[in-house]
Amino acid sequence: MQFDVVDLIRTKRDGGTLAPEEIDWVIDAYTRGAVGDEQMAALAMAILLRGMDRAEIARWTAAMIDSGERMDFSSLRHPTSDKHSTGGVGDKITLPLAPLVAVFDVAVPQLSGRGLGHTGGTLDKLESIPGWRAALTNEEMLRQLDEVGAVICAAGSGLAPADKKLYALRDTTGTVEAIPLIASSIMSKKIAEGTSALVLDVKVGSGAFMKSLDQATELARTMVDLGTDAGVHTVALLTNMDTPLGLTAGNALEVRESVEVLAGGGPSDVVELTCVLAREMLAAVGKHDVDVESALRDGRAMDVWRRMIRAQGGDPDAPLPVAKHQEVVRATRSGTLSKLDAMAVGVGAWRLGAGRARKEDPVQAVAGIELHAKPGDHVEQGQPLMTLHTDTPERFERAITALEDAVDYSDGPVELPGIVLGRVDAQGRQ
Ligand code: URA
């Protein structure tokens, strides 16, 4: 059936509800190019301002899934469990997590993306490993899942193509932060991917899309409902993103830190979140009370990491690239660090060259920020707080400007929130 897109925009603009056939039509027509970018941008803005009800979100998601192919993991020896983070600063968790979960005979298909704006992309991080390649065919991916147990690769162009086009449009029209659009974007890709279980890491705080716990809970509930209705065992954790995760933000720097975690060391927040998410991913496929920490300590997770990197052409023993220029930022007074703002560090790392402003921009593998103190640590005036890394030193000035208000000090003790702020599962659904 043929509809008039202007009628749909008006309906949403005035707070109405789109009919299922209207949703199917507009997603298909936009993917084919019959609805223009300016029209879809107006509709996305109306959705951002007016919202969508549960039935509309479910249909919008289904229409985006139907715009492309569905993958099938049913031939694999092991069940599949996947993780998706809504994006944060220093969030390298996928790197140690995928091999760690694979240790326990669960296949981990991580179809990942590149960074846009202040949040880093998993593929950009792994591409700092000499030789590693992100693009695999579906057959290569399935073979690696069976033989190694974990794969982190680029989502092929066949998976939810409507989302690819719409996400790029939202990115340039101020319409990313709409809960119905974020939920349908993430879940259309995950449902089309065909994983049997999914753990969502919904970030909350200054460095995340969702700044408040209420907003993040609504996003988590929406995604858990979409996954559950599609037959995917879906759980969401709400986790803190006021402060960067770990002590690094930037591609090669984050790979180095991930390898430290796989070697049984690394910053305690990265280790904790990796283990919490691993336990959730395992429990989601019926493996309860697994001692995941021991697989980090005894080298089993590292063995899978090495095989995973090699299977995609990378050399796990090759030295990671290092920036030609460094600049140290020092504490301006003595005291206890009470704030280290994730957004400021993300923007700083991005300005040093770790991220891209447009999706076709290159990134510097070496660029980023290394943190020497975190909230709760006592520092003395003049002590190094951060080291900035880049190959293009003319970038230091703008990065330092971004970091001007990143840090606060306190004279007394500082109370810190935990990493995990909440959990949403299929139980208690209305
Ligand atoms: N990640 C996605 O894949 N889509 C969104 O809309 C936001 C984050």
Q: What is the mean pLDDT of residues 276-289?
A: 97
Superfamily classification of domain 5-51: Transferase, Pyrimidine Nucleoside Phosphorylase; Chain C (1.20.970.10)
User: Where exactly are the structural domains of the chain?
Assistant: 5-51, 82-156+176-317+421-429, 325-410
User: What is the Rg, in whole angstroms, of the alpha carbon atoms belonging to the chain?
Assistant: 21
* Separation of CA 373 and ligand 1 centre (Å): 31
CATH 3.90.1170.30 given to domain 325-410: yes
**Residue 245: its pLDDT value, please?**
97
pLDDT band at 117 (very low <50, low <70, confident <90, very high): low
- Catalytic: 189? yes
Residue 229: C-alpha distances to residues 62, 368, 426 (Å): 11, 40, 10
- Catalytic: 288? no
Q: What is this structure's pTM?
A: 0.95
- Catalytic: 105? no
Ligand 1 closest atom vs CA 113: 3
Q: What is the DSSP string of 82-116?
A: EEEE---TT--THHHHHHHHHTTT-BEEEEE---B
- The architecture CATH gives domain 82-156+176-317+421-429: 3-Layer(aba) Sandwich (3.40)
For residue 214, what is the enclosing H or E element? helix 213-229
Which residues sit with their C-beta closer than 6 Å to ligand 1?
86-87, 167, 176, 181-182, 185-186
Question: Which of the residues 24, 82, 124, 163 is marked catalytic?
Answer: 163
**Residue 430: its pLDDT value, please?**
47
d(CA 70, CA 155) in angstroms, rounded, equals 12
Residue 3: C-alpha distances to residues 22, 23, 66 (Å): 7, 10, 19
* Separation of CA 169 and ligand 1 centre (Å): 12
Q: Is the pLDDT assigned to residue 427 strictly greater than 90?
A: no
Q: What is the mean pLDDT of residues 75-97?
A: 96
Residue 352, Ramachandran bin (φ over 0: left; ψ between -120 and 50: alpha; else beta): alpha
d(CA 226, CA 358) in angstroms, rounded, equals 30
**Residue 244: its pLDDT value, please?**
97
